[in-house]
Structure 1
Amino acid sequence: MADKDPYVYKIRSVHKVVDGDTIDADIDLGFNISLTKRIRLADVDTPECRTSNTYEKKLGLEVKQWLQKNLDGKKEILIKTELPDSTEKYGRILGRLYVDGVCLNDRMIEEGYAWKYDGGTKKKDFALLEAKRNAISSLT
């Protein structure tokens, strides 16, 4: 994705994992200055943590925990975006999250924690997502 994501921002610290596809973090601006921003992981959609659907909520909390585990204690966290001001309609930075050189956006999909974002389709097959995750974990 190097050609598609030319703008790279270093994350100084992650304050909060909001849900499976959103974090609050300090972006390092240099000269010991940082800016706290909400960041939405691009190209992925995860089950919601705040919903009345208990099955979706369970899966949403699992992916939130997975993301937290993959961010805790990491030294090199980057956000790569297509544009210098890649904010979406809710004011969040939209980007791809890299930890130690690995794109977590892609890993979430590969490991069955997220769907590739399709532009907003709300009908999601939660059982299929969980089955994919279980199949992958049984191989390890």
Structure 2
Amino acid sequence: MRLLYSIVMLVLTFSASADISGRVVRVLDGDTVEILQASRERTRIRLAGIDAPEKNQPFGQRSRQFLTRLVAQRHVRISGDERDRYGRILGTVWLDGEDINAVMVRNGLAWAYRYRGKATEPQYAEPEAGARAVKSGLWADPAPVEPGLWRKMQKTPE
């Protein structure tokens, strides 16, 4: 019985962290895409570790357009097995072996997502610093506002 339990747990652990792949059929904004898997299932993916400007925020449309040019109608692989509170998979989007999340940050079209001041995915802190240094994308703005703070500023008092 113990052996059977161990095997079941191993299989569940492996399948929970398995990658998925599909064709990008929709780019919702600079950090969210929808893919169509071979099973015909549509799955929303939130690019993990980054935070792109909101659509109606400065650079929001540029961020979405850039991501669209990169991945629209392309076959991508997603690594990651967590879900956010909206049910989206939090994952890294891979296209031809390239980390698209990092491409967004490196081009100044997304921040490295931070929690308590530290990048949740440390590998994105350096590309962000490089984009800031050359004032690429949103870093051309003298005072860019992180999306989380921007959303708070947009809320109307009740």
Same fold at TM > 0.5: yes
Cα drift, residue 67 of structure 1: 0.4
Correspondent of 1:7 among 18, 23, 28: 18
Cα drift, residue 27 of structure 1: 2.4
- Can you list the C-alpha shifts for 1:24-79, whole angstroms capped at 9, x where unaligned? 11123xxxx23111110000001100x3xxxx24x0100100000001353x4110
- Can you list the C-alpha shifts for 1:5-33, whole angstroms capped at 9, x where unaligned? x531111x2221000000111123xxxx2
2:29 is the alignment partner of 1:19: yes
Aligned residues: 110
Moved runs in structure 1, 4+ residues, more than 3 A? none
Q: How many angstroms apart in 2 are the aligned matches of 1:17 and 1:80?
A: 18
Structure 2 gap segments, 5+ residues each = 1-16, 118-131, 140-158
Is contact 1:112-1:130 (8 Å) kept?
no
| Distance 1:7-1:130 versus aligned 2 partners, 3 A rule | farther
Correspondent of 1:112 among 108, 116, 124: 108
Q: Identity over aligned residues, as a percent?
A: 29
Is contact 1:16-1:24 (8 Å) kept?
yes
Task: Find the counterpart in structure 2 of residue 68 from structure 1.
Answer: 68
Q: Residue 87 of structure 2: SS of its match in structure 1?
A: coil
Q: Residue 23 of structure 1: SS of its match in structure 2?
A: strand
Q: Residue 77 of structure 2: SS of its match in structure 1?
A: strand
Task: Find the counterpart in structure 1 of residue 87 from structure 2.
Answer: 91
Q: CA RMSD in A?
A: 2.7
| Distance 1:118-1:129 versus aligned 2 partners, 3 A rule | farther
Structure 1 gap segments, 5+ residues each = 1-5, 122-127, 136-140
TM-score normalised to structure 2 length: 0.61
Q: How many angstroms apart in 2 are the aligned matches of 1:71 and 1:34?
A: 18
Q: Whose helix proportion is higher, 1 or 2?
A: 2
Q: Whose strand proportion is higher, 1 or 2?
A: 1
Higher relative contact order (CA 8 A, sep 6+): 1
Q: How many angstroms apart in 1 are the aligned matches of 2:138 and 2:64?
A: 17
